[in-house]
Structure formats: C-alpha cells, structure tokens
Structure 1
Amino acid sequence: MAKKVIKGEDGKEYEVKTKKPFYKRIWFWILIVIVLFIGFGTMGGSGSSKSSESASGKATAHKTTNSEKGESSAKKSDASSITVDYNKYAVGSTKSFTTNYTDSSWNDATVTVNKVTIYKLTKPHKYNSANDGKFNAEGFVRLYFTVTAKSDISLYATQGTAIYSNGEQHEADSLENWDGDINNGATKTGAVTLPVESLANTSSLTTIRYKFTANPQSDMSVEKDYDFTLNLK
C-alpha cells in the first residue's frame, strides 16, 4: 500500500496508508485475462459445432398425406361412388375408354362422343327405370358428349336407347337434361348415364350401340336419327 503523510491539529505529522484502485491491482488484470480466454474459447467451440452440424445434416422425405393436403377421408369415398338421379351407388371398379367418334353428317350439328366409362358396383342395387320398371343393376355406363350446333336445333341425346353386347337394351331415362334446344354456334357438353343389369366386370361389355334423334327448330317434322356403335377395347 502507498503511504501518505498528513499533519494533525496538534501540529504533528502522521503517516496514512491508502489503498490502490482495483484496476491497478494485478489480480484484476489476471481475472480479465481469464474471462477473455474463456469467452474466446466458447465462441470458437460454438462455431465449430455449427460447422459440424451443417456438414452432417440429413433430410428425409415422404409422400404428402391427404391430411397435409387438407383433404378428408370423405373425398376418398366420393371417388369410389357414382351418383345417378340423386342416388349414390358404391363402386367397386371403373374402366374408361377414350373414343374418337364424331358425326358431322348432319349439316345442322356436329356430335362427338369423347369418353365412355363403365362402373361395376360393389353389389347389385335396385334401379327404378321409367320404361323397364324396377330391376337389380350391377353397374352403369356413362357416355360423354359434345354437341356443336350449326343452326338452331333440338337434340335429345339424354332420351336415347342403348343396346349392349350382352343383349340388354335400356332407355336413357335419368334426370340428365343438358341437351334439348341448342342454338346456332353454341356448344353443349354433358353425360348420358344408363344402367347395366348384368355386369360381371368392367370388361364384360365389348360394344355399345346408341340411338337418339334431333331436328331443326325451324321444322320439327324433319328428324335426324343418330345411330352409332362404340367398340370397347
């Protein structure tokens, strides 16, 4: 410690010991060195740890689930059913056929069948036909049409008749009604759904013959008969 001499009230001189400031003491600077050493050591260790994690990181992947897409299990159910006249039928299997049938023989319209889908039900269901009464249906056939009018016409694809390769004949008597009056330049698309009474599987039917009529609105006495057969392969 440093010594300081002061004079008292009695006129005598006295020595007074004074303490050094803490920052002048050697233990303070030793402590500073230790703290800095620990601090730099921690920073260096943290950096090397990050580098190691980056080098050895792994990523895994999986197919996005329906839950992650926000889809519910009800959508799966909808995909395996067919609705006809507000009635839903459980479907065991389906088979679709892309067709290339187009009829432009009538100057007033062009008719195209784009696709045919056959539905095999999980079990027979009662079907109430307006023309054939009630019977057990084992499946359905759905024809997809596109009709382009070249004049004002009335076309009735949804009121046609189907004849299958298994000998069955059915009238299209469902509630589908996208056709009817179609004016010049307009294009209508829609489906026609018919029952199948006996259907072992979706490949059982090899041909579908379909018939319906149309006429120009200007002369209802003139009829155009459509009659075509689709080969299913």
Structure 2
Amino acid sequence: MVAPTPDGKVIDAGDVWSISGRQPPEAVAAAGLGAQRQAITDGLAHLLRLGDNQRRDWLDRRQPASSARVNWWLYLLLVIDQVLGDQPGRRADWVELKLWLLRQGQARGVLTRAESAEKVAYFAADMRRAGAELPDLLPSADDIVRACLDAIPVGRDQVPMLDARRDLHGLDPTQIRLSRLAKNLINAAQWHLDEVQDERLADQLSKWIAVKPSLV
C-alpha cells in the first residue's frame, strides 16, 4: 500500500505504508533462487550428519553475498518446514537443525534479535500444536517468552501507543516501528503464556498483552 498524498510528518506521497501478501517471506524468497533450490535441499540433509564446526564451515562456504543473504537464509528455514511434514520419523533431527540455524542467523547478523525470538516462538508453538513432544530440543515457554520480551527495545512506560488523545498522526516513523515491533513480539510470546512457570515473567507478559490493543 502506497500513500497517494502526504500525511503530515508521518508519511510522504509515494511512500510505502505497508506490505502484505498471501505468502510468507520465506516462500517469496524461494522464487528467486531457481536452480539453487535443490542444492540447498540436499545440503540441509547433509548438515544433519555434521557437527557444529562442520556446519559452520558449510555456511561459510555457501552463504551468498550480503544483498542475497537474507532470502537465502529464509529459504533454508522454509525447506526445513516442508521436510518436517514429509519426514515425521526424523522430526527431532530437523527441529534441532532449524533451531541451530536460527541461532546462527542471529549470530551472523542475518536475523535481528527480535526476528530470531519471534521465529523461535512461532516454530515452537507450531511443533507443540503438531504434537511434537521434544522437551530436550524445544526451548521452554519461559525461555521463549523471556527472549521475546528482552527483544523489545523499550519498556511498557516508553513504548509508543495510540489512545484517545493521539493517533498515527502523532507518531513519527521510528515510533511506529517500535510500537509494531513490540506488538509482533507480544503476539508471538502470547502463544506460550499458559506454559510459563515463572510467575513474574507471566505477569510481565500479561501486562504487555493488556496494552497490545494500543500498539500500532
């Protein structure tokens, strides 16, 4: 969606206001990889048999230049999601590999701290909904929620919110991004609230959930 006219100091005419689509970014990324897709699929199957050092060497040799790196990593994650449905007998191996890749993606600067926390939260929720009982692999609800909350760069008393006295016209682009980032992380963490053991952590998340309707 592109703004046809300027909107005060928030957005100029011709600026992109939002981007949405029927497919996740991982699927869109796949379209530009062409013949690389089979090689990536085969490479991921090879990674299952390797230790951490050999896996890191594999990534060092194969990840593309920075301009294409994000899409390449997104496609790695998409392939694992697809294989998880096709190879339930090796579910634990693929789950371990995806979690390892998410950690590596953050360590290498491909994924931000917030993106990594959000993806782990949704992935763990998907696995549990699918009946995958993998307590030795999947992070605990406490770890997931804590990672999501820690990735919010501002506290509840600082996060930009909409209320009866202020709408989007009163927020600059940086404030809008901060508010949306907080909302995305709360949405991801919320799936795990019922399983959180730390009462203080559960209370923190509940308070964030309470203000979520006021976030952008």
Same fold by TM (over 0.5)? no
Q: What is the TM-score with the length of structure 1 in the denominator?
A: 0.21
Of the two structures, which has the highest relative contact order with CA contacts closer than 8 Å and spacing of 6 or more?
A: 2
Q: What is the TM-score with the length of structure 2 in the denominator?
A: 0.22
Q: Compare CA radii of gyration and give the structure with the larger one.
A: 1
